[in-house]
């Protein structure tokens, strides 16, 4: 029915408001809990900004902000940077007026929001890296930026620990940019599976193995009566879904 098609279309969209709000929250709220950045944290933050400046498919002012931040971080000869100095630099530059969740809006205020946008941000960056191997190959040598950011900065410590355990088990086997897309997709589904039915689940957005058959029928196969993923199709779907061309800039409030 038409209603079903419209619903599927709405869910399959990726909104720039979520990605920019995620970045905004990351830079203004999550990072602010670290008064000084140094050592491995500083390195991770620099790498995250470098990759984002090159690959985040944002609007020109946002990309400009990331480039300015990157140039500033690279040119500073300091091995310790106070967060206030980062704040001074980013507060003069327009990122987003306020945090605005659209595709990540929960049915209650405490549900979804930032963590949803963080997943989307990292899937987007990982897919952009696979789509632009020449730009990203030198930048991703030290592993997935998502993994390193989450290790050092993600405010949900229990989440970071679970994620770190999964990364330890299998990150080393990820040898290509495309495998990195599939690795993050698969781990996100492991988290979805673990959280299905949990208190943190939004009843309006049940945790499912993603993409569901209505979003990507070709991603699902049955082999000897058992469900199996067609990973070539999943990769194609990820490349389309987290593509800059699938990002919507307009939404109705
Ligand atoms: P999310 O899981 O946040 O997904 C956001 C969107 O991504 C979905 O709406 C869908 O469009 C898309 N998506 C879904 N699955 C996939 C996939 N496999 N690949 C690509 N795209 C997909 N919460 C806890 O309570 N405990 C935890 O241990 C925990 N660990 C986390 C670890 C990490 C690294 C992150 C980023 C978050 C973690 N969270 C955890 C938060 C949790 O995963 C959800 O973000 C939160 O419950 C909000 O869920 P959501 O319905 O918005 O969907």
The series of mean pLDDT values per 10 residues for the chain, 253 residues long, is 55 88 92 94 93 93 91 90 90 70 93 96 96 87 80 94 93 92 97 96 95 96 96 98 94 64
pLDDT at 96: 62
Q: Indicate which CATH number applies to the domain containing 148.
A: 1.20.120.310
CA of 39 to the centre of ligand 1 (A): 29
Q: Which of 102, 46, 34 is nearest to 70 (CA)?
A: 46
Residue 183 falls within a domain, yes or no? Answer: yes
Residue 31 falls within a domain, yes or no? Answer: yes
Q: Does 24 contact ligand 1 (Cβ within 6 A)?
A: no
Residue 188 falls within a domain, yes or no? Answer: yes
pLDDT at 7: 52
Residue 145 falls within a domain, yes or no? Answer: yes
pLDDT at 162: 95
pLDDT at 144: 80
Dihedral class, residue 225 (left if φ above 0, else alpha if ψ from -120 to 50, else beta): left
Residue 23 falls within a domain, yes or no? Answer: yes
CA of 191 to the centre of ligand 1 (A): 7
pLDDT at 3: 55
Q: Does 192 contact ligand 1 (Cβ within 6 A)?
A: yes
Dihedral class, residue 109 (left if φ above 0, else alpha if ψ from -120 to 50, else beta): alpha
pLDDT at 158: 94
Residue 131 falls within a domain, yes or no? Answer: yes
Residue 253 falls within a domain, yes or no? Answer: no
pLDDT at 97: 66
Is residue 8 within 8 Å of 214, Cβ to Cβ? Answer: yes
CA of 118 to the centre of ligand 1 (A): 8
Residue 85 falls within a domain, yes or no? Answer: yes
Domain range for 43 is: 2-248
pLDDT at 88: 87
pLDDT at 10: 56
Q: How many domains does the chain have?
A: 1
pLDDT at 8: 53
Q: Please report the atom of ligand 1 found closest to the CA of residue 188.
A: 18
CA of 80 to the centre of ligand 1 (A): 32
Q: Does 146 contact ligand 1 (Cβ within 6 A)?
A: no
* Nearest residue (CA) to ligand 1, atom 53: 116
């Amino acid at each position: 029915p038409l209603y079903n098609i419209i619903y599927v279309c709405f869910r399959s969209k990726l909104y720039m408001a979520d990605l920019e709000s995620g970045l905004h929250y990351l830079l203004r709220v999550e990072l602010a809990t670290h008064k000084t950045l140094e050592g491995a944290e500083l390195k991770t933050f620099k790498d995250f900004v470098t990759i984002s400046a090159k690959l985040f498919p944002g609007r020109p002012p946002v990309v400009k902000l990331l480039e300015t931040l990157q140039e500033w971080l690279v040119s500073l000869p300091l091995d310790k940077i106070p967060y206030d100095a980062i704040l001074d630099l980013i507060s003069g530059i327009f990122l987003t007026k306020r945090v605005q969740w659209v595709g990540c809006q929960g049915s209650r205020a405490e549900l979804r929001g930032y963590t949803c946008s963080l997943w989307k941000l990292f899937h987007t960056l990982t897919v952009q890296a696979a789509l632009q191997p020449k730009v990203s190959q030198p930048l991703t040598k030290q592993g997935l930026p998502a993994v390193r950011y989450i290790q050092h900065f993600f405010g949900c410590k229990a989440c970071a620990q679970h994620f770190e355990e999964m990364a330890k088990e299998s990150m080393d086997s990820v040898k290509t940019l495309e495998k990195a897309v599939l690795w993050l997709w698969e781990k996100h589904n492991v988290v979805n599976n673990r959280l299905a039915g949990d208190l943190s689940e939004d009843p309006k957005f049940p945790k499912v193995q993603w993409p569901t058959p209505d979003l990507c029928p070709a991603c699902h196969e049955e082999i000897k009566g058992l469900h199996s993923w067609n990973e070539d199709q999943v990769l194609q779907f990820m490349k389309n879904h987290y593509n800059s061309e699938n990002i919507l800039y307009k939404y109705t409030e």
